[in-house]
Structure 1
Amino acid sequence: MDYAGAIERAAVAKRPLLAVCSELFLLGPTHGFAGWEEESFALFHEIADFFQVSVRAIHVCGSAKLGFSPTKKTQFTAGSSDLDVAVVDPQCFQRYVERIVHETNGYRDRSAFPRKDDGRSLYEDFKYYMAKGMLRPDLMPLIAERVEWARFFAGLSRKHSRRFKRISAAVYLSDSLFAMKQMSALQQYINEKEFL
């Protein structure tokens, strides 16, 4: 699929960007899986099993999805590009949030949240993304679930290193919040290309 062309046509037609993102990221084919469909099905099932969700909850974003990164201005290259996965499932999102609430005593104990090089806690960053319906493992507190998540994706990355440099995932509360997350990248791309 010509994603760049689809984005340009949508921009010229002044289609709502949320609808465009929903179509492209939730319904469109994944560029990075072309010629690799059977392996991708197995990969999706592995990820779905790990998160205990339906395989339909697994989506791809970034250059692996579109064939190019709208923000980094790079093309997808098998073996050296990442695979960014989105797990879109409200029950999965809730399970992780409940564990985090429990482990942090209702966020009163923030000592398990990682810190930046300057010593600042990533709790505010975690809260910012969670409020947008997205859980990023790198911002989560250092609890067993985060360790298991990191271990699982490190193993997947090694297993599929000929196809992807690294495989990572974020969990989203809903389809619309996942699509909204993609909007800023596409809007930036549209603005820079001056389609309008």
Structure 2
Amino acid sequence: STDRTMGLREEMGWGETWIVQARGPQVMGGYLGRPEATAQVLDGENWFDTGDLGYLLPDGSLMITGRAKDTIVLANGENIEPTPLEDALLAHPLVQQVMVVGQDRRTLAALVVPDESALEEQKEGGSAEPARLVETLRRELNQLLAQRRGSRREERLGALAIVDPFTIENGLLTQTLKQRRDRIAATHQARIDALYAT
């Protein structure tokens, strides 16, 4: 028989984001012969840290919102989950890929890979000046972020940089096309620093 009950580890309010943990006979008991690695993912009560962030919906189902390691902590201590913001930004026709940055900074910024065909159309329409185009795009992206349900002021972009595509070949995407956030940040560190220097 299978136990289908889901118990809460501790009381929490609906919609509050927490690290998702799991425990049960189907969850691993640890890494064989690697107690230090086991201690990183299992606590003393055998709760497994999935590394995911999520919250419970009123119907009891779990909504996964991102990865704990991706959380951006601004200089003022605000925690920002970049994945929902990036998902919203991808709705803009000029944005093909995007990564939000801002760890230990006062504001967020974004590395944007433009959709080349949409960018060419924009330039033909008279917005060829790069500085004006970047500022217009930043304003439009902030409008998208402001329209998100539960939007917060800290989730606005203070700056953005146009960068080359993230690909498997340049090591910035995994084989499953997930962004390698640490490598993208390292590759574009000078650009990121320049965004905050102005």
**Is TM (by shorter chain) over 0.5?**
no
> TM-score, structure 1 length as denominator?
0.36
TM-score (ref. length: structure 2): 0.36
Larger radius of gyration: 2
Larger helix fraction of residues: 1
